Structure 1
Amino acid sequence: MNVVLIICGALMAYMIGSLPTSVWLGEAYFGIDVRNFGSGNAGATNTFRVLGRRAGIVVMLVDIFKGWTATSLALILYYLDAIYFEEVNQLKLLFGILAVAGHIFPVYVNFKGGKGVATLFGMALSIHLEASLLCVLIFLIVLFTSKYVSLGSMIATLAFPILLLMPRFNPEEPLLIIFGFVLFAIVVLTHQKNIVRLINGEESRTNIRLKRK
């Protein structure tokens, strides 16, 4: 195990996760900081709300890519013979957590970021592709039926560790399953205000209909 390379990978994962996609895009093309509008978060959902669908899609895709890239740094370390194959998943978890932490607390913009759901999804894609894609389907079903992004995010996040418990998706590594439930707890914590609004019937619904000319 090359400790120096692992530390460098960890720092890089955090820096990648910290890239404030919505803030930089909003300031560069719209002249505004999305954190001053809507929910005040620098995430894809608030970007959809403040800057529109196109900007929201760009931010969402980049944030997903951030999580996937940072998590996949573990594979690069493996190919560099810095870690053993048995350590890949452990490093993926570490790097993924650091990327999500970076998104929530980005060093580039005073540690005020988003909720990390898109980055978390990118991380999950790197850890278990099949289960992650099924979670996307679950998210879309909840979104189209309820029109609540927050509800869809929480249910899809909970579905990830539950799917890993099933024989079809089981990675035979208890750490990944435990981590999945921990991630769900983190998402719930970052969505406390949304949960209160959902209970009170005050949560904003997302208009997902395509515009017709």
Structure 2
Amino acid sequence: MTLLIVGATVMAYLLGSIPTAVWYGRAFFNLDIRQHGSGNAGATNTFRVLGKRAGTIVLLVDALKGYAAASLAFFVNTIYPLSDNELLSYQLLFGFLAVIGHLYPLFAQFRGGKGVATLLGMVLAIRPDVAAVCIGIWLVVVIASQFVSLGSLLAALAFPVLLLLRVFGQPENPMLIGFGFLIFLIVAITHKKNIGRLIQGNENRTILIKLKKK
């Protein structure tokens, strides 16, 4: 059992360490995305620098990393049956390690992205219903304000708040609620420069959908 958990732990971090934006930029554009735009190796900077197609691909792959890492808990469960709490604990552990891998990727000199897409993938694996609502909140905020950072912050905060308020009509696991607030804290820390720019009124804008003016 111990060897299996250690192996899954390492695998979760390595999954997160796949530097999608860096590898995609080098393979198809012969550039290091970290040397352009905001210097961030994530989907938003890829979207701005390399275009919608590249940004979308990076977003999906980065989310898949978190989803796959959290799903390693189900693999463990097939070999060693786990209780519901144990299963959730391993989902959170493996998903969190994937996020750490994305922030500090072994395969890219430990210079990664901000982890939002990987967090999203992790949450989709654990609570897809709540994650879907958070995605909706993100879309509305980003389309209305054109600030991806603001959308990410509010969507991250919405996750634990929705659980705490029992919006889905059932008592939620306190561990998941607590972890949800930890997720928000991580997003806030990785977006501290963005928060400063939002307050100062000079945050970068990203247009997802061009609204037609009447």
Pairwise TM-score range, normalised by the shorter structure: over 0.9
- The offset of 1:168, in angstroms, is 3.9
Q: How far off is 1:92 after superposition?
A: 0.5
Q: Would you say how many aligned residue pairs link Structure 1 and Structure 2?
A: 210
- Aligned-pair RMSD on alpha carbons? 1.4
Match of 2:105 in 1: 106
Q: How does 1:74-89 map to 2 (within 5 A)?
A: 74-81=73-80, 83-89=82-88
Structure 1 unpaired stretches of 5+:
none
Question: Retained in 2: the 8 A contact 1:19–1:106?
Answer: yes
Matched with 1:154 is 153
1:89-104 aligned within 5 A? 89-104=88-103
Q: For 1:111-126, what aligned pairs fall within 5 Å after superposition?
A: 111-126=110-125
Matches within 5 A, 1:1-213: 2-81=1-80, 83-169=82-168, 170=170, 172-209=172-209
Question: CA deviation digits over 1:10-56, x for unaligned, max 9?
Answer: 10000001100010000000000000011111000000011111000
State the shift of 1:85 in Å: 4.1
Q: Deviations over 1:69-103 (max 9, x none)?
A: 00110011001126444310000110011000000
CA distance in structure 2 between the partners assigned to 1:200 and 1:167 by the alignment = 35
What TM-score, normalized by structure 2, do the two folds share? Answer: 0.95
Pick closer, same or farther for the CA change 1:54–1:127 going to 2, 3 Å: same
State the AA in 2 paired with 1:197.
Answer: R
**Residues in 2 aligned to 1:137 and 1:152: alpha-carbon distance in whole angstroms:** 10
Amino acid at match of 1:208: L
